[in-house]
Structure 1
Amino acid sequence: MPLHTTPALLLYCRPGFENDCAKEVSAACADLGITGYAKAKPDTGWLLFVPHGDEALAVLRAELRFADLVFARQLVFCSAYVDDLPADDRVPALVEAVKTLGSRCGSVCLETADTNEAKELSGFCRRFQPHLERALIGEHVLHPKDKRAPRLNVFFIDSSQAWVGLTDLANSSPWPMGIPRLRISRDAPSRSAAKLAEALLGLLTEQERNQRLVPGMRAADLGAAPGGWSWQLAQRGLRVIAIDNGNVSPALLKGEMVEHVRADGFHWRPRGSLDWMVCDIVDQPSRIALLAADWIAHGRCRDTIFNLKLPMKKRYDELERCRAIIDKRLREADVPYVLRIKHLYHDREEVTAYLRRAG
């Protein structure tokens, strides 16, 4: 039962995006003055970043922001790895590994990668978790009543290997494996409704949702057909103009919340200013980025959520290009802004961005 004390960042991502996630976290660490190296295998759904220097992990835990990482589903600060766990008694070795973290924890999350192979461990994790929790409470490491203490994450590569680390509640995804479990009504015109629901949960705070998604507000949905995003906004009480030359679900138009306008989303303009614009048009990401920035720059809307369909071989590079396009356009217009981007669970080759005027 070898215990390896190796400080490292453990990041989960969508399988196939390990290289993009590695590039991004390496750049983010370099911006903080921390060097190191990434260890990733294709299609595994996770990777490590091993920083150089004894104090590097502490610096990263204080300065690296999960919200700034696009491709990471979760950010775990690890200092222990255990292998050769005995099938009949894994608890003692894992308890010793947890003790090396030097911190109490308020909850425990046993996780695997988001792959078909790793998911076979999910049943084991559910059965094993109560046993580990009892042992950690007995060792005065786990304090379930402490709602401010970090979360203990035990990430099983397989049933005999695990990384052990901590996630800070204010600097991590609140969902196990970084994956939200959303239930969308069968009345939704398309599955894309779940994507916008996840975007609103993941890219806006609860306070922002309460303040910026108020019933009676007005929104435009560019490239709306068949209407999943329009439906999601209407469910929140917003009045939506669905812009698309294609057909929108007839059921969506039965009420008074959604109006369908047959027009090109790139050329349509509202009469006056709206509260929101959302856009799921499939086009060059640079063109979508400029479209969204133009809407904000001209005051056509206050908030916008849009998708950027990234090219498979240069996802990270194209993402940085889109950031630069938005920054240039809004600097030229002298508009301060807030931009958040995330590769959502319901995204595939695209990422989803939230952009608004600052202040």
Structure 2
Amino acid sequence: MPRFYTPTTPFRFDPMQPAPTPCLSLGIFVQCRPGFEPDASLELHAAARAARLDGGIVEVMNSGFTLFQLDTPVPRDELRRRFDLSRLVFSRQGFQLAAHVEDLPDKDRLSPLIKAIAGLGERFSAVLFETPDTNEGKQQSGFLRRFAPVLEDALSKAGLLRGDSPHLPRLHVFLPDSKRALLGLSLGSEASAWPMGIPRLRMPGEAPSRSTLKLAEAILSLLTPEEQKASLRPGLLAVDLGASPGGWTWQLISRGLRVTAIDNGPMAPSLAATGLLEHLRVDGFSWKPRKPVEWMVCDMVEQPSRIAPLMAEWVASGRCRRSIFNLKLPMKRRHDEIERCRALIDQRMRAGNIKYILRIKHLYHDREEVTCYLTRR
């Protein structure tokens, strides 16, 4: 079972852990929203057990990360075949842990890191420099801005960094504090393209609310570039359930989609001025479109057990082709609630003999909720 530690317990690896060997992984490291370590740990532990991996959870409360430490190192390719990092919900960022460097000197952190990185036996397409998403972690941001280009230059000169080779793994350099570094590897299909899984999105001045960033991140995180290009084209039809004041509607209209906004609350007048908005003050649970639409998005504040079947019904019945929606989670047993909603969606899809794609993520702009993407295959 997962092992939980108090916030004051220092994060240390088992001293009996074998030294890193080229092409072997020591574990699976996950970064999450601080305070969600128990949820990330339970999910990570369950997924590791399903993949028949022997080991245990090492967790520090409110640290913003957790680790499934393998009892015995596993070849990286084998671990990748058995364990799908991309399916983890509470993981903002994740990687295979390949090495850890202790007691970094204050005056020369470059030399021991280069030595450890060279010992991994890999070349890399990119380097992601990361710290915990905590006040303590943010104190290292100034150092990283200065140090990152120095390390990248050294890796390039050593022939280890090949930015022109996108199929190579990415190197993660994670600094829990000024004295330690964790080195990890991931493929672009496995983990976030953003360091720490935090997108650098600018708040659009024309958007009615900050909730617009949530849908913007969902589109970038949950849809492939091909899916974005095919489904977010001018002229396509969309529905926004629970739309007021229009943060999510703005994301769709700004891409040229025609949106029917369903909400008893008001919509921003600037959205109506585009000529792409129809606003209906009706019940989002009972209203149905006159003809099928490409998108239905939903950010209604309701129980997850009500939202999940509604979303499944829209997709299964053909009212919409695709949906992005939020599930507002309880304070406890969040992982269980997500699995319950998965089952409700699967039940409806199976009843219609429908093959589907469901992706769920606890995004950076989410709080006590997760964001989902559901579509027919």
TM-score calculated relative to the size of structure 1 = 0.95
Choose from 365, 368, 375 the match for 1:346. Answer: 365
Give 1:308 shift.
Answer: 0.1
8 Å Cα contact 1:306-1:354 kept in structure 2: yes
SS in 2 for 1:187: coil
Choose from 344, 353, 367 the match for 1:334. Answer: 353
Report sequence identity in percent.
52
8 Å Cα contact 2:97-2:183 kept in structure 1: yes
Give 1:191 shift.
Answer: 0.6
Q: Tell me the distance in 2 between the aligned counterparts of 1:130 and 1:272.
A: 54
Q: Within 5 Å, which residues of 2 pair with 1:257-276?
A: 257-276=276-295
Choose from 83, 87, 90 the match for 2:102. Answer: 83
Q: Within 5 Å, which residues of 2 pair with 1:109-188?
A: 109-188=128-207
1:325 aligns with 2:368: no
Give 1:58 shift.
Answer: 4.1
1:280 aligns with 2:303: no
1:199 aligns with 2:218: yes
Count residues in correspondence. Answer: 357
Which one has the bigger helix percentage?
1
Letter of the 1:216 partner, please give it.
G
1:17 aligns with 2:44: no
Letter of the 1:224 partner, please give it.
A
Letter of the 1:298 partner, please give it.
S
Give 1:198 shift.
Answer: 0.7
8 Å Cα contact 2:85-2:95 kept in structure 1: no
Q: Tell me the distance in 2 between the aligned counterparts of 1:319 and 1:284.
A: 12
Map Cα deviations across residues 54-107 of structure 1 (whole Å, 9 max, x no partner).
326542223322321111111111221112111001111111221232211122
Give 1:134 shift.
Answer: 3.1
Choose from 295, 300, 322 the match for 2:314. Answer: 295
Letter of the 2:208 partner, please give it.
P
Q: Tell me the distance in 2 between the aligned counterparts of 1:269 and 1:137.
A: 57
Q: Tell me the distance in 1 between the aligned counterparts of 2:348 and 2:66.
A: 34
SS in 2 for 1:338: strand
- Taking only aligned residues, the RMSD between alpha carbons, in angstroms, comes to 1.7
8 Å Cα contact 2:244-2:263 kept in structure 1: yes
Give 1:150 shift.
Answer: 1.4
Map Cα deviations across residues 20-70 of structure 1 (whole Å, 9 max, x no partner).
111112222222221321111111111111123332654222332232111
Letter of the 1:10 partner, please give it.
F
Map Cα deviations across residues 316-339 of structure 1 (whole Å, 9 max, x no partner).
000000000000111112222111
Letter of the 1:243 partner, please give it.
I
Q: Tell me the distance in 1 between the aligned counterparts of 2:354 and 2:48.
A: 28
TM-score calculated relative to the size of structure 2 = 0.91
8 Å Cα contact 2:152-2:161 kept in structure 1: yes
